[in-house]
């Protein structure tokens, strides 16, 4: 009789355990379902974030594959390269060109040839001399002289020397305002460089001022509307 009671008690206890396990099972299922929902929501937000980032910044730009040594200047550009030297033509190769920097010579009335010759004369300095140069100089009559190949670095734009092309521009007086012939050649030259080097006039053409806040080119710094018009003219020419 006692054994029978013990056996019945064991059966009863087993039934209680099974009932408890059955009661807990829905809780486990609910927890798994809740976890799955949160994971789904998280993936949705990640997808939205990636989508917004793509819309804001677009696709990553491909690295340019331009052989700068093969860029051939048109006939309206006079190539008159200065001597290789540590002060104005260090003969350091440019790996890639990411921008064009516009300068002014700050020497009213001087010609493109005179400024080109000044850069060349820096080769004759003694130690601790002045470093200065530019790839191109646009003159008072619209003439364009190339002083350094586009495949080499010039000393013109501070920390942007290593990835930009420098254009110096001549002006008749202290205001820095350009003659029409000079302005037209600057637009033509900048547009040609943008096409050859796959640059965007809106974001890749800048002033020396935009590099280190130097008042250069003076007229375009002090007359913001004139600078915006120049960029528009370059864009139209491209």
Name beta bridge partners: 151: none
Q: How far apart are CA 131 and CA 119, in angstroms?
A: 9
How far apart, in Å, are the Cα atoms of 86 and each of 41, 128, 155, 156? 61, 10, 10, 14
The answer, yes or no, to whether residue 58 has pLDDT greater than 70, is: no
Name beta bridge partners: 79: 146
Pinpoint the alpha helices (H) of 74-199.
Answer: 112-121, 180-197
Name beta bridge partners: 103: none
How far apart, in Å, are the Cα atoms of 131 and each of 18, 88, 134, 165? 90, 6, 11, 16
Distance between terminal CA atoms of the chain? 107
Instruction: Map tokens 């305002």 to a residue.
Output: 177
Quote the pLDDT of residue 97: 97
Q: How far apart are CA 132 and CA 32, in angstroms?
A: 70
Q: How far apart are CA 147 and CA 149, in angstroms?
A: 7
Q: In terms of DSSP bridges, do strands 164-169 and 136-138 run parallel, antiparallel, or are they unpaired?
A: parallel
Higher pLDDT, 3 or 97: 97
Give Cα 226 to chain centroid, integer Å: 23
Q: What percentage of the chain exceeds 70 in pLDDT?
A: 77
Quote the pLDDT of residue 23: 47
**39 DSSP 8-state letter:** H
Quote the pLDDT of residue 126: 87
Per-residue tokens: 230: 């120049």
Q: Which of 234, 238, 210 is nearest to 224 (CA)?
A: 210
Cβ neighbours of residue 108 closer than 8 Å, sequence gap 6 or more = 171, 172, 173, 174
Cβ neighbours of residue 100 closer than 8 Å, sequence gap 6 or more = 164, 165, 166, 167, 190, 193, 194, 197, 199, 204, 205, 206
| pLDDT average, residue stretch 9-20 | 60
3-state class (DSSP) for residue 152: strand
Q: In terms of DSSP bridges, do strands 144-146 and 99-102 run parallel, antiparallel, or are they unpaired?
A: unpaired
For residue 60, name the pLDDT band (cuts at 50, 70, 90): very low
For residue 59, name the pLDDT band (cuts at 50, 70, 90): very low
**Residue-wise pLDDT tens digits, 212-222:** 999 999 999 99
Quote the pLDDT of residue 232: 98
Quote the pLDDT of residue 34: 73
Rounded (10°) angle between helices 180-197 and 224-237: 50
């Amino acid at each position: 009789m006692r054994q029978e009671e013990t056996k019945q008690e064991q059966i009863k206890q087993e039934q209680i355990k099974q009932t408890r396990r059955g009661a807990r099972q829905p809780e486990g299922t609910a927890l798994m379902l809740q976890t799955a929902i949160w994971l789904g929501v998280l993936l949705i937000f990640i997808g939205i974030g990636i989508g917004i980032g793509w819309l804001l910044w677009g696709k990553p730009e491909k690295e340019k594959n331009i052989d700068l040594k093969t860029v051939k200047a048109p006939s309206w550009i006079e190539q008159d390269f200065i001597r290789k030297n540590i002060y104005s033509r260090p003969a350091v190769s440019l790996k890639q060109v990411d921008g064009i920097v516009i300068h002014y010579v700050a020497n009213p009335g001087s010609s493109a040839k005179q400024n080109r010759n000044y850069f060349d004369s820096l080769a004759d300095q003694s130690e601790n001399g002045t470093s200065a140069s530019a790839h191109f100089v646009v003159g008072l009559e619209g003439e364009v002289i190339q002083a350094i190949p586009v495949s080499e670095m010039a000393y013109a734009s501070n920390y942007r020397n290593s990835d930009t092309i420098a254009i110096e521009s001549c002006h008749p007086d202290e205001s820095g305002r350009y003659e029409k012939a000079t302005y037209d050649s600057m637009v033509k030259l900048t547009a040609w460089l943008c096409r050859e080097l796959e640059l965007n006039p809106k974001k890749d053409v800048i002033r020396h001022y935009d590099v280190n806040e130097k008042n250069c080119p003076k007229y375009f710094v002090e007359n913001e509307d004139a600078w915006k018009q120049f960029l528009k003219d370059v864009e139209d020419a491209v």
